[in-house]
Amino acid sequence: MKAVQQGGGTTLFLVRHGETEDNVRQIMQGQSQGRLTLHGVEQAETLARQLADEPIDAFLSSDLRRAVDTAAILAAPHHLPVETTPLLRERDWGDFTGRFIPDLKDEPWPDNVESMADMMQRAASFLEYVRTHYPRQRVVAVGHGIFNKALQAVYHQKPIHEIPRMGNAELRVLELP
């Protein structure tokens, strides 16, 4: 991977965790721990090789197992610890958690699903956390599909539906002022 030019702010390497067993089974994971598949481990190892020569100052991860395991693989070549934070957790899907996703199409939303406003506020809080705790640094952050879209929506000041879906172990780079 070609090095990203560092400007005056923080470079955030935003990553979605590797493929999980529940991704394959189309189960709504939400804030459940999740377990990487062998393919998910391979995806993370491939990205780790791509990032191996990048100067990285810190690795952050959601505190959910699927993200922590991905982040540990990415951090290994850099010999850096992984800091976990609940700010990076996936959206809380409440009673939808653990359900087969195709069955949810016409279901009424439970009251205990994290609101879009709350998730977007959490995304803004995470970006502010990175700006203030890692100024002018290069940070890898491993999160989740929907929440990573929320982070990018806040960053780009766009509606979340305009942000393209991230694949498993996909990387996007954000330059924070």
Report yes or no: 19 and 39 within 8 Å, Cβ to Cβ. yes
Interatomic CA distance for residues 136 and 17, integer angstroms: 25
79 catalytic per annotation: no
Interatomic CA distance for residues 86 and 107, integer angstroms: 28
Element (H, E) at 21: helix 21-25
Report yes or no: 48 and 82 within 8 Å, Cβ to Cβ. no
Catalytic residue of the set 17, 19, 114, 144: 17
Catalytic residue of the set 19, 90, 114, 144: 90
Map residue 123 onto helix, strand or coil.
helix
90 catalytic per annotation: yes
Interatomic CA distance for residues 19 and 93, integer angstroms: 19
Active site residues: 17, 90
